[in-house]
Amino acid sequence: MFSRTQTILIPVISVVLGLLIGAVVMLVSGYNPIEGYSALLRGSLGDSFYIGETIRQITPYIFAGLAVAFAFRTGLFNIGVEGQLLVGWIASVWVGLAFDLPKIIHLPMAVLAGAIAGALWAFIPGLLKAKLRVHEVIVTIMMNYIALHLVNYLVRYVISDQQNTTSRVPESASLKSPFFEALTEFSTMHYGIFLALAGAIIYYVILEKTSTGFELRSVGFNQNASQYAGMNVNRNIILSMVISGAFAGLGGAMEGLGTFGYAFIHGAFSGVGFDGIAVALLGGNVAIGVVLAAALFGILKQGALIMPLQSGVPTELVEIVIAIIIFFVASSYIIAYLLQRFKKGAQ
């Protein structure tokens, strides 16, 4: 397909083009793009508070991106990351509230509960795909809605006494970090970023360094060939969805135990899971790419919040930039073609 340099160049060029076209949109609508982008940078990396918030924003993006990317490498399109994230969120908060244990047991247990819940939620579409060939896109989309309403029900009637939010998880199950809070002037940055980076390393190791990972990737390349080579395709499909769901569930646990420290009734989807699709796409479905793409998304989304205040540019502009970036990544053949033409021209 693409050469090695191309796989790196295409996302980079897409980002640059996205930002450039964003600047043109700003110019056309009467804003100053330099002011706009510098406000965006100030609002995401300008001082310690915003850096803290940006890192907090990046954390669930990494997990969501890894979740989508993992399934994608096995040839599965997991649109259900949003739902898996929500059930992971509620499960981790629930375990956080239900038990009274020392932190060294309680916190890992709560985080793990999130992963398991996400994994179970993704197991269902995996099983349906493996056994009955039901397309995972349809099932995962449906499961998102089930997750949203189930979680809202649990928050209101099971975990809390008809409240809109649950109580806060106790210190023993919290990822909140007084150290980072002090360092970043009360930002909501928490320890989850280390888990997210560890998650990226685990992702890399599983996919690239183990025979299971080889099988998973092989199924992604060609199911028939894999089957002919003696691999159990169905088992790999389920496994891939389960691991993908576990990553998504961990992303939810980060929100539940770190960013918020509680679960609440969602009026609509959080959007993190859907952004994960874009993160994975931009990151080329490799660990380091996902981390970098998540960082870019975190910076853009966080910086967007302050843009209207400091430069008058509406936050929606960032959505436009992101959409353009994704457009170029998705139409990567155009860029690859142009690159080739450019090379030939030079010769």
Q: Could you list the residues that contact another protein (CB under 8 A)?
A: 43, 47-49, 51, 53, 56-57, 148-149, 152, 156, 162, 164-165, 183-188, 197, 208, 255, 259-260, 262, 264-268, 270-272, 288, 291, 301-302, 304-306, 308-310, 314-315
Of 191 and 262, CB closest to another protein: 262
> Least CB distance from residue 46 to another protein, whole Å?
10
What amino acid is encoded at 312 in this protein?
A: G
Find residue 176's DSSP bridge partners.
Answer: 190
> Least CB distance from residue 108 to another protein, whole Å?
23
Alpha-carbon distance of 17 to 8, in angstroms, equals 15
For residue 7, give both structure tokens: 């796989």
> Least CB distance from residue 63 to another protein, whole Å?
14
> Least CB distance from residue 176 to another protein, whole Å?
11
Of 184 and 236, CB closest to another protein: 184
Of 232 and 315, CB closest to another protein: 315
Of 8 and 330, CB closest to another protein: 8
> Least CB distance from residue 305 to another protein, whole Å?
6
Of 167 and 212, CB closest to another protein: 167
> Least CB distance from residue 345 to another protein, whole Å?
29
Of 129 and 190, CB closest to another protein: 190
> Least CB distance from residue 315 to another protein, whole Å?
5
Of 195 and 241, CB closest to another protein: 195
Of 217 and 266, CB closest to another protein: 266
Q: How many other C-beta atoms lie within 10 A of the C-beta of residue 120?
A: 17
For residue 94, give both structure tokens: 């629930």
Q: What is the 3-state secondary structure (H, E, C) of the chain?
A: CCCHHHHHHHHHHHHHHHHHHHHHHHHHCCCCHHHHHHHHHHHHHCCHHHHHHHHHHHHHHHHHHHHHHHHHHCCCCCCCHHHHHHHHHHHHHHHHHHCCCCHHHHHHHHHHHHHHHHHHHHHHHHHHHHHHCCCHHHHHHHHHHHHHHHHHHHHHHHHCCCCCECCCCCHHHCCECHHHHHHCCCCCCECHHHHHHHHHHHHHHHHHHCHHHHHHHHHHHCHHHHHHCCCCHHHHHHHHHHHHHHHHHHHHHHHHHHHCCCCECCCCCCCHHHHHHHHHHHCCCCHHHHHHHHHHHHHHHHHHHHHHHHHCCCCHHHHHHHHHHHHHHHCHHHHHHHHHHHHHHHC
> Least CB distance from residue 104 to another protein, whole Å?
25
Kindly list the distances between the CA atom of residue 49 and the CA atoms of 56, 63, 178, in Å, as whole numbers in the listed order: 11, 23, 13
> Least CB distance from residue 27 to another protein, whole Å?
21
Contact 49, 55 (CB under 8 A): no
Of 116 and 306, CB closest to another protein: 306
> Least CB distance from residue 271 to another protein, whole Å?
6
Q: How far apart, in Å, do the first and last CA atoms of the chain sit?
A: 22
Of 137 and 265, CB closest to another protein: 265
